[in-house]
Structure 1
Amino acid sequence: MKKRFVSGLKYTLIYSVITFALLEGLLWIMGYRPYANTDYEVVSKPKNPYVADANLGIQLNPGTYRLKLNKKVKFKATHQENGQRFIPKKFEACINKVLFLGCSYTYGYGVNDNESFTAITQKKHHDWKVENAAVVGYGTAQHLLQLRERLINETPECVVLCLSSVHFIRTVLSQNYRANLRIGYRRSSSDVDDRMNGARFPYFDNTSGKVKHAKWEDLYSEIPGRYWSASINLLQNLRDKSKEPDCDPIKVTASLIKEMQDLCDKKGVAFGVICLDSNHETKALEKQLKMSHWLNVGFSFKSKKYTHLPYDSHPNAKGHKKIAQSVIPFLEKLMSDG
């Protein structure tokens, strides 16, 4: 009896291995592959330019940092105590405060403090107090939470939301973006789990119709073996697809921007949207919102002339100058229209 059991188990294992090997070979023929992550190296001196935040996911860590991206792109970034990036300014009387909300493109990832399009805007208008509240990795859910908090005690002359096509998946915290966050951060540093302890990332929950939060440790889980097996990676992808949010990212983004507009209207604050790049989603969003103050910059993050490609796709100093050429006249009109 024991021999029959052992023999049966042996053949079961053999058949399982053969079946798995055949399936793996078939998937390779069909073009499926194990998961291969494109590592993105960031070296910062001092360390930790960004820290965990229980409401916004991450925040800027105050201090001056020298960063190097993928061994090539170097820049200096100064983070202020108020959680904003420093903008050099001449000491003159400031009549109007202009608040920029955005992601790494607006933050100026890859360029020095004085080279971002927000800094160029400040240089052009000494009578404005330009504040750059953009943070790497933010989407529209974070921007709404930022604005809610800021308008409690502040009344800027105008608020500008700098939108990008990458924000849609962030706003609903899609499985793809969850994977990018979790895998990318963890592969960039061995102690990232300790540093991200307490981080909660906001997203729009379609069931409740409200902004909710996902803990860092609950963001994303991987099936062991996906880095060496096409079969397991396919299983992971199918599982991720089944967990995708059941909502329209365009409609969600539109509802959040409308709330931002309403918040500004109640405080008598001018509000505008600067759409940095363009795709079918941004075009559909513009059509839904029908805003009077909407700017399409039309920037290409694939341009080798205006970005750091092939090392990084963020705008270089020339790219920020190009963006500023569109942003400044738009802001001037927004301010004059009130």
Structure 2
Amino acid sequence: MTRPTRNFHALFCALATTLGLVLITMGLVLSSVLVPFTWMRIDHKFVLALGMLVTLLGLASWKLPTSFSMMLASSVGTLTVVFVLGYRPIEAGDVSMMLGAKPRVWQSDHEWTELIVRNDDRYGWSNSPNASGRQVNSDFSVSYNLDSEGWRRLPVASPGAGHDEVWFLGCSFTFGVGVEDQLTYPYLLAAQAWPRIQVRNFSVSGWGTTQAFLALENELKHRPAPRLVVYGLIAHHRQRNYLRKSWFAKGKAGWLPHVELENGQLRWKSLLVNSQADWEDGPELDETEYRVTEALIRGMTRLSREHGVPFVLLLLDDVEARMLDPIRNEPGLHVVDVGHLSSSFFPNEGHPTAVWHQTVAHAIAANPLLAELAHPRCLHQTPSRIHPCVPGKNPGIVKMAAA
């Protein structure tokens, strides 16, 4: 090997080793590294392992041909430059791939949720069967455990209880984001107030009334009719029921179910890519959402009525009168308001705390109408009305100290 060749060889070996040390440093300093020009991130452990491998190869290349050290240095150098140019801090919606762990969806640089959702050709997105995952942020660190169908785990009704069921439908409020499985209000009702009734929680974070309608329709096709259906409504569901760009552009899902009103009737159109939700905020979109939401709630009430099942609209926050007034007299619809009972929400993340769930469960168990509808002795429906829930004494729910 001539002297110039030896010099080039030494240069490339040193460069490869240095680049390996740079990757090791990145792996130690950063929690994850963006895959350039995508929303995917790789975990720092992967970068650290890659850096150690490159460093070892760089050291070994001193004993290998110059061509190998040139190839190694140029390849790793190009890779490092691309990663540096494509680097940006974590943004909400980024997904990181972890060595030996589940992928994480990031909400900020210190808030993440292990990925338990999947694309779904009916709902747009749903939870994966038999999955479990953690969510960590400044307010809480909790685990979510799902059953064989992808719904949040609930207790099995006590032996000899018969086949009576109560179904809950909803979003993250009813799914129970921010609290452990056994502290959600459906779980508290199942475990303490209604142990002889099989409670089911057909709720997924981010869902609106459209998915609740589709879930009710699907479950009624594949299960015996329950004794009672309860849909946990929050005001924001309206903004999830049509093509609002400002909601679906946040990366809630890759797909979304699309329904339209034609001659006053709901018509299922198709699944859309979330980028096809292109309606800008404004009065025209608001009015469309009001009409679609009204039709969806009427449709859920009608489906329940056709199966002889009472349908309860459970108000979980301050729902606008504009959403409620058109449906108050819908036959078979019962509206129960628990939205004013607790202000216990996580200060940063914004979802209800365990105290809120306990308060809501206590109020539901104490509500005469719901107690009557949920238990086998009641087989009739009463006229539609608003039923305010007032917390009272009920031996079925153990009172939790306020936080």
Say whether the fold is shared (TM-score over 0.5).
yes
Structure 2 counterpart of 1:83, one-letter code: G
d(CA) in 1 for partners of 2:362, 2:297: 24
Q: Aligned ranges for residues 136-215 of structure 1 at < 5 Å?
A: 136-154=205-223, 155-180=225-250, 182=251, 199-206=254-261, 209-215=266-272
Contact 1:175 1:244 in 2 (8 A): no
d(CA) in 2 for partners of 1:290, 1:243: 23
Instruction: Specify which of 113, 135, 160 is matched with residue 93 of structure 1.
Output: 160
d(CA) in 2 for partners of 1:300, 1:216: 38
Seen in structure 2, the aligned counterparts of structure 1 residues 116 and 257 have a Cα distance that, compared at 3 Å, is same
1:296 matches 2:363: no
d(CA) in 1 for partners of 2:274, 2:239: 19
Counterpart of 2:259 in 1: which secondary structure?
A: strand
d(CA) in 2 for partners of 1:88, 1:241: 42
Counterpart of 1:240 in 2: which secondary structure?
A: coil
Structure 2 counterpart of 1:323, one-letter code: V
What does the per-residue CA deviation read over 1:149-191, in whole Å, with 9 as the maximum and x for residues that have no partner? Answer: 11113211111111110100101131221223x2xx5xxxxxx
d(CA) in 1 for partners of 2:221, 2:157: 28
Q: Which residue of 2 aligns with 1:326?
A: 363
Q: Which residue of 2 aligns with 1:133?
A: 202
Seen in structure 2, the aligned counterparts of structure 1 residues 117 and 246 have a Cα distance that, compared at 3 Å, is closer
What does the per-residue CA deviation read over 1:45-98, in whole Å, with 9 as the maximum and x for residues that have no partner? Answer: xx4211111220111112353423334411111111112110134642333100
Q: Which residue of 1 aligns with 2:72?
A: none
Q: Which residue of 2 aligns with 1:249?
A: 289
Structure 1 counterpart of 2:239, one-letter code: I
Q: Which residue of 1 aligns with 2:309?
A: 269
Counterpart of 1:40 in 2: which secondary structure?
A: strand
Seen in structure 2, the aligned counterparts of structure 1 residues 298 and 220 have a Cα distance that, compared at 3 Å, is closer
Contact 1:55 1:200 in 2 (8 A): no
d(CA) in 2 for partners of 1:147, 1:99: 9
- Count residues in correspondence: 262
Seen in structure 2, the aligned counterparts of structure 1 residues 220 and 286 have a Cα distance that, compared at 3 Å, is closer
1:122 matches 2:214: no
Structure 2 counterpart of 1:294, one-letter code: V
Seen in structure 2, the aligned counterparts of structure 1 residues 70 and 79 have a Cα distance that, compared at 3 Å, is same
Contact 2:232 2:315 in 1 (8 A): yes
Higher relative contact order (CA 8 A, sep 6+): 1
Contact 2:175 2:203 in 1 (8 A): yes
Contact 1:67 1:74 in 2 (8 A): yes
Overall identity of the aligned pairs, in %: 24
d(CA) in 2 for partners of 1:241, 1:43: 28
Structure 1 counterpart of 2:132, one-letter code: Y
Counterpart of 2:294 in 1: which secondary structure?
A: helix
Contact 1:64 1:76 in 2 (8 A): no
Structure 2 counterpart of 1:157, one-letter code: R
Structure possessing the higher radius of gyration over alpha carbons: 2
d(CA) in 1 for partners of 2:351, 2:286: 30
Q: Which residue of 2 aligns with 1:224?
A: none
TM-score (norm 1): 0.69
Structure 1 counterpart of 2:117, one-letter code: Y
Q: Aligned ranges for residues 21-36 of structure 1 at < 5 Å?
A: none
d(CA) in 2 for partners of 1:246, 1:210: 19
Q: Which residue of 2 aligns with 1:107?
A: 175
Give the C-alpha shift of residue 201 in structure 1. Answer: 0.8
What is the root-mean-square deviation in Å for CA atoms of aligned residues? Answer: 2.7
Seen in structure 2, the aligned counterparts of structure 1 residues 220 and 69 have a Cα distance that, compared at 3 Å, is farther
Seen in structure 2, the aligned counterparts of structure 1 residues 110 and 242 have a Cα distance that, compared at 3 Å, is closer
Contact 2:170 2:204 in 1 (8 A): yes
d(CA) in 2 for partners of 1:270, 1:77: 30
Contact 1:88 1:113 in 2 (8 A): no
Contact 2:151 2:203 in 1 (8 A): yes
d(CA) in 2 for partners of 1:260, 1:58: 20
Contact 1:101 1:132 in 2 (8 A): yes
Structure 2 counterpart of 1:297, one-letter code: V
d(CA) in 2 for partners of 1:278, 1:85: 25
Structure 2 counterpart of 1:164, one-letter code: I
Counterpart of 1:309 in 2: which secondary structure?
A: coil
Contact 2:248 2:275 in 1 (8 A): no
Contact 1:94 1:127 in 2 (8 A): yes
Q: Aligned ranges for residues 62-81 of structure 1 at < 5 Å?
A: 62-81=129-148
Structure 2 counterpart of 1:53, one-letter code: D
d(CA) in 2 for partners of 1:316, 1:129: 24
What does the per-residue CA deviation read over 1:101-142, in whole Å, with 9 as the maximum and x for residues that have no partner? Answer: 000000001111100000011121111100001011111111
Give the C-alpha shift of residue 265 in structure 1. Answer: 1.2
